[in-house]
Chains A and B, each alone.
Chain A
Amino acid sequence: MSVIATPARQRTGVSARTVNRIVIYGLLALFALFYLMPLFVMLVTSFKTMEEIQNGNMLTLPQAPTFEPWAKAWGETCVGLTCAGIKGYFWNSIKMVVPAVLISTLLGALNGYVLTKWRFRGHTLVFGLMLFACFIPFQSVLLPMATILGSLGRFGVTLRNATGLSFGLGNPTVNLVFVHVVYGLGFTTLFFRNYYEAFPTELIKAAQVDGASFFQIFRRIMLPNSMPIFVVTVIYQFTNIWNDFLFASAYAGTGDAMPMTVALNNVVNTSTGVVEYNVNMAAAMIAALPTLLVYVVAGRYFVRGLMAGAVKG
């Protein structure tokens, strides 16, 4: 009896397992479609002609792929009243992102170093205050910052009239770099603090006994061992700053200094003339490419950064 029963049960067990696996893989594939769909539609639309978009189906591949929408988005499409494409705004974003990321990362590294290896009374409070700054809704500082940047801009004009140089005061790109450094410090400090927390303090003590100074220890011991967290922080800051819209639209919302996100929003929401969906999609793809590229190349670090930003302490 038992001899017969056992294989039978085993057989149903196997088939139930197979069904189970099929359901699991089916669900996973379905969700993969859900996540990929918008990107797919955006991509195929950006290679279609307007005629094909109006008559065709959004899910079909382009019949006669054309790069024209991309060329038009890059060099010809209208942002507001200027019709010179989004290329200028793309460079605006680069000019803003690179210094903002470098400065905030370096300051974060120094802060993290001090907050873990050179502790003083009240270091937790200092860190807590900086950390909370990561979470504030930026609406609560938007207006004072606008006022200050406005006065600095006026001061810059006075300065230029007097000396011929404005020292970057009133330049929207410089303003945005400053704003992103200020409001990015909390995150970069958090990343480095948590990383250096696990770094053996004995090494620092030994170096101190040997007479190494504060900066020597930082340069010779901490920095060479900080590569992974530098990558994480740079990627996190790059993605955040590149993708920012609120500060960009508040402090450089009009004119030639607009960053990419604001320009894209203007391109898409222009109400004049025929809406060129293919050009819009190409522009969106161009805006998305830098961060997507970073994600593809260094996804592991990207996820680690997000996690570090999520799991505090």
Chain B
Amino acid sequence: MSTVAETNIKPTPERGARPGASMRSRLQDALPKIVLAPSFAITVVFVYGFILWTVYLSFTNSKTFPSYAITGSRAYQRLWRWTFESDPPSSWYTSITNMGIFGFLYIFICLALGLFLAILLDQKIRGEGMLRPIYLYPMALSFIVTGVAWKWFLDPGLGLEQTLHQWGWTSFHFDWIKNKDFVIYTVVIAGVWQASGFIMAMFLAGLRGIDGEIMKAAQIDGATTFQLYRRIVIPLLRPVFLSAFIVLAHLAIKSYDLVVALTSGGPGGSAWLPSNFMYEYTFKRNEMAVGSASAVIMLMTITAIIVPYLYSELREKPR
């Protein structure tokens, strides 16, 4: 009891005796927080403050310039109405339908192709060191460059179609990039081309992390290669699937540049994603409130995917 009291009291007279030193040490104690404070303040203001600002704008009737009188949820009501306006499709209907198609195919194909390539590369391949960078380099390119390259490649008059015609396959027809019903699939092709190599690298890292003993034991038990992968390896890769899904999902929702560079929005805006919708309505069509409302919807979609993930990731490792 007395020991506790002693240790509790002890610092106080010291502090009282040397006020200069205590000021310094208190500053030293606060220094880490002072160093972190600007970054944190910037984040709070320019991320969270701005998000609230956007939410606020979505409840006004801002057109070309922001207006700060709350006028209710008209922007959301319009988006809601447009959601079901399929004939002729409203821009919003096109954007969210495209998001569904693009999001699903992009994520699914990238995961499948990435896993497939990783498994192939994991078969003790000679020249792996040469192949891996070839699969991965598109990730270093900007979406604009990717868009320009694929725009050329898929152009019916110049690219693939023309080439195959010259090789004698004259009935070959491939004009998706000019076709309003198919243009979104060209965005999928270019998107998969860009990201699948990276997903491959994630899976490969996952495969290399699997304990070789488990594989050997399964082989001794007479498992075929196919069974080995289906029953043992792929279930063990579950965390990689999750990370890859998160990466792809947020890339998909953020996709904007690729649509602009590859299709310039497609015929009549038929390749728009919600991000393009937001940009066009906010900056070109002077419907700022509607643009803000669509941005809020994008944010909520990403939040629904990311927050549970971050929560579990940050909580899992208490130290």
Question: A residues touching B (Cβ–Cβ < 8 Å)?
Answer: 24-25, 27-28, 31-32, 34-39, 41-42, 45, 53, 57-59, 107, 110-111, 114-115, 118, 120, 124, 126-133, 135-145, 147, 182-183, 185-186, 189, 213-215, 239, 242-246, 250, 261, 264-265, 268-269, 277, 280-281, 284, 287-288, 291-292, 294-296, 299, 302-303, 306-307, 309-313
Task: State in angstroms the CA–CA spacing of A310 and B49 once bound together.
Answer: 26
Known contacts A141-B51, A288-B141; decide if A182 and B42 are in contact (CB<8 Å): yes
Rounded to whole angstroms, the CA-CA distance of A244 and B137 in the bound complex is: 17
- Which of B70-78, B88-96, B256-264 is the contact stretch? B256-264
Contact B310 A312 (CB under 8 A): yes
Closest to B264 in A: A269
Which residues from chain B sit less than 8 Å from chain A, CB to CB? 28, 31-33, 35-36, 38-40, 42-44, 46-51, 53-54, 57, 66, 117, 120-121, 123, 125, 131, 133-146, 148-153, 158-159, 162-163, 166-167, 193, 197-198, 201-202, 205, 243-244, 246-247, 250, 253-254, 256-257, 260-261, 264, 275, 278-279, 282-283, 288, 291-292, 294-296, 298-299, 302, 306-307, 309-311, 313-314, 316-317
New A-B pairs, 6, CB < 8 Å, besides A287-B145, A310-B243: A31-B135, A38-B152, A130-B43, A132-B310, A139-B275, A144-B50
Contact between A140 and B205, CB atoms less than 8 A apart:
no
Cβ-defined contact, B142 with A213, below 8 A:
no
CA distance A32 to B134 in the complex (A): 6
Are B142's CB and A245's CB within 8 A? yes
A309 to B136, CA, bound (A): 16
How far does the alpha carbon of A81 sit from the alpha carbon of B259 in the complex, in Å? 24
Instruction: Kindly list chain B residues whose C-beta atoms are within 8 Å of the C-beta of A42.
Output: 148-149, 152
A140, B296: Cβ atoms under 8 Å?
yes
Contact of A143 with B66 at beta-carbon distance under 8 Å, contacts A129-B44, A265-B144 already known: yes
Cβ-defined contact, A307 with B201, below 8 A: yes
**Smallest CB-CB separation from B134: which chain A residue?**
A32
Residue of A nearest to B44 (CB): A129
Contact of B46 among A53, A143, A145 (CB under 8 A): A145
Q: How far is the CA of A313 from the CA of B97 in the complex (A)?
A: 33
B314 touching A127 by the CB < 8 A rule? yes
C-alpha gap A115/B31 in the complex (Å): 12
Known contacts being A110-B36, A143-B292, is A128 close to B310, with CB within 8 Å? yes
Contact assessment for A245 and B137 in the assembled complex, using a CB-CB cutoff below 8 Å: no
Q: Which residues of B contact A38 (CB under 8 A)?
A: 146, 149-150, 152-153, 193
5 smallest beta-carbon distances between A and B, as pairs: A243-B142, A118-B32, A313-B313, A245-B257, A295-B140
Find out whether the CB atom of B310 lies under 8 angstroms from the CB atom of A32. Answer: no
28 A-B pairs (CB sep. < 8 Å): A28-B120, A41-B152, A42-B148, A42-B149, A110-B36, A110-B39, A128-B311, A129-B43, A130-B39, A130-B40, A135-B250, A137-B298, A139-B295, A139-B298, A143-B57, A143-B288, A144-B57, A182-B46, A183-B46, A243-B143, A245-B261, A265-B261, A268-B261, A288-B142, A296-B133, A310-B247, A311-B243, A313-B310
Contact of A147 among B49, B66, B140 (CB under 8 A): B66
- The answer on a CB contact under 8 Å between A136 and B153 is no
Q: In the complex, A75 Cα to B317 Cα: how many Å?
A: 54
Chain A, Cβ-Cβ closest to B276: A139
Chain B residue with Cβ nearest A280: B148
CB distance from B224 to the nearest CB of A (A): 12
Least Cβ distance of B74 to chain A in Å? 17
For B244, the closest partner residue in chain A by CB is A310
A59 to B161 alpha-carbon distance, docked (Å): 12
Complex: A114 Cα to B294 Cα, angstroms: 37
* A141 & B50 in contact (Cβ 8 Å cutoff): yes
Residues of A close to B139: CB separation below 8 A: 306
- By beta carbon, the residue of chain B nearest A182 is B46
Q: Which residues of A contact B166 (CB under 8 A)?
A: 57
* Bound Cα distance A40, B264 (Å): 23
**Best-buried of A120, A189, A313 by chain B (most CB within 10 Å):** A313
Decide yes or no: A41 and B149 within 8 Å by CB, A111-B39, A311-B243 being known contacts: yes
CB distance from A4 to the nearest CB of B (A): 24
Kindly list chain B residues whose C-beta atoms are within 8 Å of the C-beta of A245: 142-144, 256-257, 260-261
> CB distance B120 to A291 under 8 Å?
no
Q: What residue of chain B has the Cβ atom nearest to residue A21's Cβ?
A: B123
Q: In whole Å, how far is A288's beta carbon from the nearest beta carbon of chain B? A: 4
A174 to chain B, nearest CB (A): 15
